[in-house]
A and B are shown apart, each in its own frame.
Chain A
């Protein structure tokens, strides 16, 4: 079982839809949870990170972490065509210095 699993998609939604992106993980030691956005042929860009369980909101983006289920989500409200990108989840144990990434979900928001 891979440490971090992420549905690669592709996921295609109409503009204005609510998008839900998810990752599951097997390592219960993970404490930091991150979401990165990567546009085609660009470097990943940090959207937000959360520590331990709970929710975090930033504009149209909400990150949720459920450590009991080893499940994290990123919700995008009122999705825009400019949100079309690959979304990568990443995790860190807090006791080491490396991130473990999911494989990314390709999202297309159609105008």
Chain B
């Protein structure tokens, strides 16, 4: 029974396209996150939602738009994809925004932009 799941696992697309990645957690957590891990394995926070409210919005291009329809789901939509967007995107969740030290990560979505 997967705690944090992401779809799709792999995404190959061309420059200029628009794509979405979906994340779901069944842990009953209030807070969810999107991270980007580049080719050098550096993991950086992009967004965080707590009970559907945006609480972290790092310096990410406007082409990236998160959406949280309910507290169990956090989706990431990317417009006009660029080569530099190629990376692994991880979703994570924690019990609440105060329990940031105990995050559970999904398996990742490997995005390749050609």
Q: Are B107 and A34 in contact (CB under 8 A)?
A: no
Cβ A99 vs Cβ B90 within 8 A: no
Contacts of B41 in A (CB 8 A): 8, 38, 86, 88, 103-104
Q: Among A99, A103, A104, point to the contact of B103 (Cβ < 8 A).
A: A99
- Closest chain A residue, CB of each to CB of B98: A97
Q: Interface readout for A47-60 with B: 1 if CB under 8 Å, 0 if not?
A: 00101000000000
Interface string of B23-67 (1 = CB under 8 A from A): 000000001000000001111110010100001101000000000
B43 touches A44 (CB 8 A): yes
Complex Cα spacing A41 to B6, Å = 14
Determine if B83 is an interface residue (Cβ-Cβ < 8 Å): no
Q: Is the CB of A101 within 8 A of B105?
A: no
Chain A min CB distance to B18 (Å): 25
Q: Are B101 and A49 in contact (CB under 8 A)?
A: yes
Given A88-B43, A98-B58, A103-B41, 17 other A-B residues pairs in contact with their CB atoms under 8 A: A32-B100, A38-B41, A41-B110, A42-B107, A43-B90, A43-B92, A43-B107, A44-B43, A46-B103, A49-B102, A97-B55, A97-B100, A99-B45, A99-B100, A99-B103, A104-B42, A104-B43
Measuring CB to CB, which residues of chain B are less than 8 angstroms from any residue of chain A? 4, 31, 40-45, 48, 50, 55-56, 58, 90, 92, 97, 100-108, 110
* 22 A-B interface contacts by CB (under 8 A): A36-B105, A38-B41, A41-B110, A42-B108, A43-B4, A43-B105, A43-B106, A46-B104, A49-B101, A49-B102, A51-B101, A86-B41, A92-B100, A92-B101, A97-B31, A97-B48, A97-B55, A98-B45, A98-B48, A99-B100, A99-B103, A104-B43
Which residue numbers of A lie inside 8 Å of B, CB to CB? 8, 32, 34, 36, 38, 41-46, 49, 51, 86, 88, 92, 97-99, 101, 103-104
What 7 A-B pairs come out closest when comparing CB atoms? A43-B105, A32-B101, A101-B43, A49-B101, A98-B45, A104-B41, A44-B105
